[in-house]
Amino acid sequence: MDDKEKIVEQIDSYYNSWFEMNSIYHIWAKNHGMQDTTLFVLYVINNTVPYCTQSQICNKLLLPKQTVSQILSGLEKEGHILKELNTKDRRNKIIRFTEKGTHFATSILEELKLAEIECFNQIPQEQLRTIVESFKVLSNLLNKSLIK
């Protein structure tokens, strides 16, 4: 096997791992009564400071505006979020959790975070540091190569 074949094999392995991780989050979210996209929208709302807008969610998750709008409408109907007028940009409403939504998002996201921490704790620190640094390097190189 030459170098190019080895690299192609590694790329295939990378894709398989990436798809498997996406599937794991998809199944986890489904087992908690939601789509993975809703889970990630909750994550973005929770972690965007000082406030979150629909555009920020679309940009972060690379989801169409219509998809995010449907997710937000569902969360609003369930009483988990409020959409407020953004005085700085009237085209984009501010998305905030209600008290009920804060409790809901916090409990789901905390459960997920604890599971992730448990997994990460099983990886030796040096290996974990290498994984994270390698993803940063790969991301930067892909950006240079594919986005230019």
Domain boundaries, the chain: 32-147
The pTM (predicted TM-score) of the whole model is: 0.89
pLDDT of residue 1: 76
Q: How confident is the model at residue 90 (pLDDT cuts 50, 70, 90)?
A: confident
CATH for 32-147 is 1.10.10.10
For 33-78, the pLDDT digits (tens) are 999 999 999 999 999 988 899 999 999 999 999 999 999 999 999 9
Give the bridge partners for 116, in sequence order: none
